[in-house]
Amino acid sequence: MGYRIAYASQADAARRGLPAQRRTALDKAMRTTIGADPYGHGSVEAKRGERDYREATIAGADAIVVYYVSTPDVLTVTAVKLITA
C-alpha cells in the first residue's frame, strides 16, 4: 500500500524551522516508522477511543509527533503537532 505524509500548518512550521540536517533526519524517520506502520512503533492513541489520532516519539529525530491516520485510497498520515528538542 502506498502512503503519504502531510503536515498541517503548525507541524509544517516546526519542521521548516529545523536545521536542514535535522529536517532530513526527521523526514527519514517519519518514512521508516509511522509512514511504514502508523499504528506501530510505540505509537499510542492521543485521545482515548480515537484509534486514528496518534502520538509517537520519533527516535533518531528527537521529536514527538501527533498525527491522524486516514486510508481512503492511499494511507495518509497527517502530522498536526511536532515537538522537537
How many residues does the structure list for the chain? Answer: 85
Q: Which domain, by its residues, includes 57?
A: 3-84
Query: Which DSSP letter does residue 19 get?
Result: -
Check which CATH number belongs to the domain holding 59 and give it: 3.30.2310.20
Mean pLDDT value of segment 1-8: 85
In this structure, what C-alpha cell is assigned to residue 42? 510505540
Give residue 28's pLDDT: 93
Give residue 25's pLDDT: 92
Could you tell me the pLDDT band of residue 19, with boundaries at 50, 70 and 90?
Answer: very high
Give residue 82's pLDDT: 85
End-to-end CA distance of the chain: 32
The number of folded domains in the chain is: 1
Backbone angles phi, psi at 51, to 5 degrees: -55, -35
pLDDT digits (tens, 9 = 90+) for 36-69: 889 998 899 999 999 999 999 987 768 899 999 9
